[in-house]
């Protein structure tokens, strides 16, 4: 049976470790996820503040 070469799904480079993406892409994706989470949190906070600032009745 031939050795199965795994290539990174993101950059296409051969991966030595197990997984579908290389470590570098894994880290970048993790960073993106964290940034997204932060972004979403900030947006939610902003929306809440906006909502709170506006009085219920004009």
- Residues near Zn ion (CB under 5 A): 8, 10-11, 22, 25
Select 20 or 41, whichever has its Cβ closest to Zn ion. 20
Nearer CB in complex with Zn ion: 33/47:
33
Residue 32 vs 45, nearer CB to Zn ion: 32
11 Cβ neighbours under 8 A, 6+ residues apart: 22, 24, 25
**Residue 31 burial (CB < 10 Å; 0-12/13-18/19+)?**
exposed
| Minimum CB distance to Zn ion, residue 39 (Å) | 23
């Amino acid at each position: 049976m031939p050795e199965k070469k795994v290539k990174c799904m993101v950059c296409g480079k051969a991966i030595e470790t197990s997984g579908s993406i290389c470590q570098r892409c894994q880290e970048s994706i993790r960073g993106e996820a964290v940034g997204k989470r932060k972004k979403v949190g900030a947006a939610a906070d902003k929306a809440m503040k906006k909502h709170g600032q506006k009085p219920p009745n004009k």
